[in-house]
Amino acid sequence: MSENRLTTATGSPVADNQNSQTAGYQGPILMQDVHLIEKLAAFNRERIPERVVHAKGAGAFGYFEVTHDVSEFTRAKFLSTVGKRTPVLIRFSTVAGEKGSADTERDPRGFAIKFYTEEGNYDLVGNNTPVFFIRDPLKFPDFIHSQKRHPVTNCKNPDAIWDFWSLSPESIHQVTILFSNRGTPRTYRHMHGYGSHTFQWVNEAGQGVWVKYHIRTEQGIENWRRHEAVQLAGEDPDYSTRDLFESIQRKEYPEWSVWVQIIPFDEARNYRFDVFDVTQTISQKDYPLIPVGRIVLNRNPDNYFAQIEQAAFSPANVVPGITFSPDKMLQGRLFAYADAHRYRLGINHTQLPVNRPLSPVTNYQRDGAMRVDGNGGDSVYYEPNSFHGPKQDPAASEPGLSLQGLSGSYAYPQNQFYTQAGDLYRLLPESEKTDLIDNIAASLGQAQKNIQLRQIGHFYKADQEYGQRIAEALHLAEAAPTDLQD
């Protein structure tokens, strides 16, 4: 008997893996070929639903190391001591494309970090952009529909993409970033990451501050220009995936420094931008970056499906000392991710090795499909109980927010859509301005003329020259001002 024996899923030896069992030479296949039936059935079930967004991605393991003392701001244990290391997993991704789409597509890049801390998993599920297209979760499904395929043609639809953006002027800041060359990063290693939302840190004394995360690449920012990205999409659609894997294999470990902006509660109330509006940044002149630590990725996955496809990141996964803010988008995301995981991976996805925390999980949740962790064995299975079962720990609670007012569907009080987009445009060197105009014209030019005119109106409002140059690139510079709708 061979040591390395092929078996069925139930462990019994397989006699023949080359020839199906048939009723005689050239006869039909027999039902009793249980190995064949099991093999075909397992194959039919290999695919799970891909992520509804961020389906194409790549990831690696490594560590986060604290380099600076931030304990005056947060009591998070993994941030408590300089030199302390915490294992991490990062998954990078594009957003709108399917699992087989090209890595160099123009798109924001996902930058999802799982910190396996001693007090449970902390997930920072960010992007490579500090802002987002919309600021209310109610608009997210419509926004994503506009980016995905047309229900009849099954093709991407420039009308839908630009119709949505032109009717959602809060998107113009992120649209400006997306159509700059930052929309086509050279690799996953050559880009920054951002938490994007404002979060809350709470210290030992129970005092909270608002916090924004900045994860800065040590490899330097490098981007493709449009034609390079388009060419690579055809020639090497897995370019960034392979780059990440091979650089780690070569022991060129990619590294990022981790920084935060800290905004005191009372200053946030009167800040010139709404700090809970994810379409706006907070100026680094007003709130400079404070160093926290560094992240190094030094281990490739042993198996892509097991460790990257099955990875489940959620902004709801926080640890004591880190909590949420009233940012509506963040609040919507607190529901959306675990719900997506229950659909995509099942209720017990937290028991998969890649998602399991390093710290013990002690609760009264039992049963459910594919329970694999022993299901609590003979331990007490309800609470309160007299049998020394796990108990709540009030020390884990975070201070409440003082709120007032009537419930209702409120618009954001501030509509400064154009200020930061215009500032960003004016900040770009001339060569990047030229690329930005060219990138926008190539895409917007595919939409209907009335949509082009509406969108050009927004670019004008961000910066007169910005709008003018796009209008000229689209041969619409002669349009009457009344054509340029809001």
- Chain residues in the site for ligand HEM (CB under 6 A): 51-54, 57, 91, 93, 110, 112, 125-127, 132, 137, 140, 196, 278, 311-313, 329, 332-333, 336-337, 340-341, 344
Q: Which is nearer to ligand HEM, 355 or 452 (CB)?
A: 355
Least separation in angstroms between residue 228's CB and ligand HEM is 24
Positive or negative, the CA dihedral 59, 63, 68, 70 is positive
Least separation in angstroms between residue 99's CB and ligand HEM is 12
Q: Which is nearer to ligand HEM, 91 or 433 (CB)?
A: 91
Q: Which is nearer to ligand HEM, 93 or 317 (CB)?
A: 93
Residue from 439, 443, 437 nearest 471 by CA: 437
Distance (Å, rounded) from C-alpha 38 to C-alpha 33? 9
44 labelled catalytic: no
Q: Do the beta carbons of residue 131 and residue 173 sit within 8 Å?
A: yes
Residue from 59, 53, 58 nearest 103 by CA: 58
Least separation in angstroms between residue 145's CB and ligand HEM is 12
Q: Which spans in 180-275 are helix H?
A: 226-235, 239-249, 265-269
Residue from 127, 37, 73 nearest 333 by CA: 127
54 labelled catalytic: yes
Query: Catalytic residue among 35, 121, 127, 317, which?
Result: 127
Phi, psi of 242 (to 5 degrees): -70, -40
Least separation in angstroms between residue 310's CB and ligand HEM is 9
Written as one letter, the residue type at 157 is N
Q: Name the one residue in this structure whose structure tokens are 């460790």.
A: 307
Q: Which is nearer to ligand HEM, 123 or 463 (CB)?
A: 123
Q: Do the beta carbons of residue 125 and residue 337 sit within 8 Å?
A: yes
Q: Name the one residue in this structure whose structure tokens are 């004394």.
A: 205
Distance (Å, rounded) from C-alpha 76 to C-alpha 7? 47
Distance (Å, rounded) from C-alpha 232 to C-alpha 427? 28
- The response to whether 213 counts as a known ligand-binding position is no
Position of minimal CB gap to ligand HEM: 110
Positive or negative, the CA dihedral 426, 427, 430, 433 is negative
As a residue count, the chain comes to 486
Residue from 31, 44, 38, 53 nearest 6 by CA: 38
**Residues 6-35, buried b or exposed e (16+ Cβ, 10 A)?**
eeeeeeeeeeeeeeeeeeeeeeeeeeebeb
Q: Which is nearer to ligand HEM, 120 or 126 (CB)?
A: 126
Least separation in angstroms between residue 348's CB and ligand HEM is 15
Residue 254: burial class (beta carbons within 10 Å; 0-12, 13-18, 19+): buried
Least separation in angstroms between residue 70's CB and ligand HEM is 21
Least separation in angstroms between residue 362's CB and ligand HEM is 25
The radius of gyration of the chain's CA atoms, rounded to the nearest angstrom, is: 26
Distance of CA 187 to the CA centre of its chain: 16
Least separation in angstroms between residue 307's CB and ligand HEM is 12
Distance (Å, rounded) from C-alpha 125 to C-alpha 119? 18
For 341, the enclosing helix (H) or strand (E) is helix 328-344
Query: Catalytic residue among 35, 54, 190, 197, which?
Result: 54
Q: Which spans in 238-306 are helix H?
A: 239-249, 265-269, 304
Q: Which is nearer to ligand HEM, 102 or 453 (CB)?
A: 102
Least separation in angstroms between residue 279's CB and ligand HEM is 10
Cα 289 to Cα 78, 85, 199: the distances in Å are 20, 21, 15
Active-site residues: which are they? 54, 127
Please give the annotated binding residues, written as ranges: 337
Please give the annotated binding residues for heme, written as ranges: 337
